[in-house]
Structure 1
Amino acid sequence: MHEVAVLALDTVIGYDLAIPPQILGQATGEDGEPLYRVRVCGLDTSPVRVLAGYSIVPDFGAEILAEADTVIVPGSQLHGPRRTGELPAPVADALATVPAHARVMSICTGAFVLGAAGLLDGRPATTHWAHADTFRTLYPNVLLDENVLFVDDGEVLTSAGLGAGVDLCLHVLRRDHGAEVANRVARYCVVPPWREGGQSQFIDRHVPDGGTDGTAPTRAWALRHLDRPLDLATLAGHARMSVRTFSRRFRAETGLSPGVWLGQQRVRHAMHLLESTDLAVDVVAERAGLGTGASLRQHMRAAHGVSPLAYRKTFRAG
């Protein structure tokens, strides 16, 4: 089992701290067995203050870092990394025990700890946008980009603030085990299954998959027939509504026009096919209802800034 150690440092950001156990800890294989063992540790087992006004008592001390395949540092207000660029000796000693093969990740201002440890020198990285100027001053050798959700630089990964930590952990699930595992965890946690790391403002909207009223049944039907031409009149006819009523109710329920929503679902389905099959790009485009490979490339670049083949190379399982 892949061992994950989450290092809580005083004063830790509680939201960040909870993300890895929730996201990675939910991941299971086809046999239902956990894919990761996620353990939270401190420098020792003394209480660690949380920014929200309470403390946690970790079950483990820093000794588990030596057993880790992945070490994650959530955001914190640890004085040295956040104010002077210096790493306290106990933290440096703890990080020195991390195995050479281990992957190291940070969430939000956890990047300050990695920066103080010298792990980000010469590397691309990100952190919370509100602290970018301070980070640059303290760690000028880091190639900081605060306009992205996360940065994957191989065995060192960093994310922007708060919710971007969810995106990073889902990205790691995709990288380790493929789209099906990551999407299953995202559905359980009711979060977008994928937000491309370079798209700071892209937010995917979930489609309600239940209910018998409104436009939900038609949306579910459309998702099963994305390879067909689906114009507004066809959708409204399936819902047994006038085009005007259907459009109004659709926007009220989803926040999007039918055309925009349908385009998003076609691209999402194409992404799933790219991840889970060996189909040629032209065939993927046809099955997603996007016509040609050229059309699919245009849609994916517009939505996510990436080509179909680049997306497949990054996220294809196995």
Structure 2
Amino acid sequence: MSLPVALDAMGGDHGAVPNVEGAVQAARAGVAVILVGDRVKLHAELGRHAGSASLPIEVVEATDVIGMDEHASDVRSRTQASINVASRLVKEGRASAVVSMGHSGATMASALLTLGRIRGVERPAILTHLPAKGGFTTLLDAGANADVKATYYAQWARLASVYLKVVEDRENPTVGLLSIGEEPHKGSALVLEAHGLLKALHGRGINFHGNVEGRDIFRNTTDIVVTDGFTGNVVLKLAEGEAKVLFGWVKEALQSSLKSKLGGLMVRGALRGLAERMDPSTYGASLLIGVRGLAFIGHGSADARAVKNALLRAARAHEANLVPRLEAAFTDSSGA
């Protein structure tokens, strides 16, 4: 059994219940898990799952938890908070990755403070997958950095390129820069500067396609789309919100008449598959890429399925030696 994944089991809107259930599902799929949090509550929750005692699940005590409405800066003083204890397990080599469905700001702060940055990376970014034509598009930054420098874009493009090669087996992935037009002269001063840097790096660890627009994200025009964290987070929330509204409209339309209801029965299977592709829990959590360790940030509203998929994804990234490969890429680029 490989190194376990540390789960902030108290984090999220629903606390221990979906975290423990997701951990049990992941353990049954072969991923060892360390549940971090209130030992009594976690053992009680584990007891509700038949056969959990024989699974590769360990419980590590954490006497505090940073709530969703508290400040991310609290991680500095609250050393016994579950997210800090989980991050330290990675730092100490006892866990392969940290996963949290709790306070995203606190997770980022804890990972950065505990694990540090990869040399050559100024700011880590949140890397997420959005469902797109033929698969998915990798978007970053999805919310870690509202204010950015042009150099960040180039670093994130390199990080994402290595990630897709190593974890998703995509050879020479293409990079697009999100802008308000495909032409290289379009965009803000920041985007124009970033375009110049990315163009200069084309063929040197980055396969730069050029500018892309919002609609290109879902067309899968490029494998990777880089943007600032403010814009990226708006794109992510807009996509998730639109998917929910769209399925609501489809449901209403299919229930509007007897004929529509009969048609709905015929397409139910196809619609279920489509809903699966568009469900955020399919990917489980987003990777905070650029720190010297694996840290995954999920939705506060995550269910057990999302927790399970996040743990599986974390284990995959560790098995692919992602962090050493990222560090090697930046060592090579600085040497060059």
* Greater relative contact order (CA < 8 Å, ≥ 6 in sequence): 2
Bigger radius of gyration among the two = 1
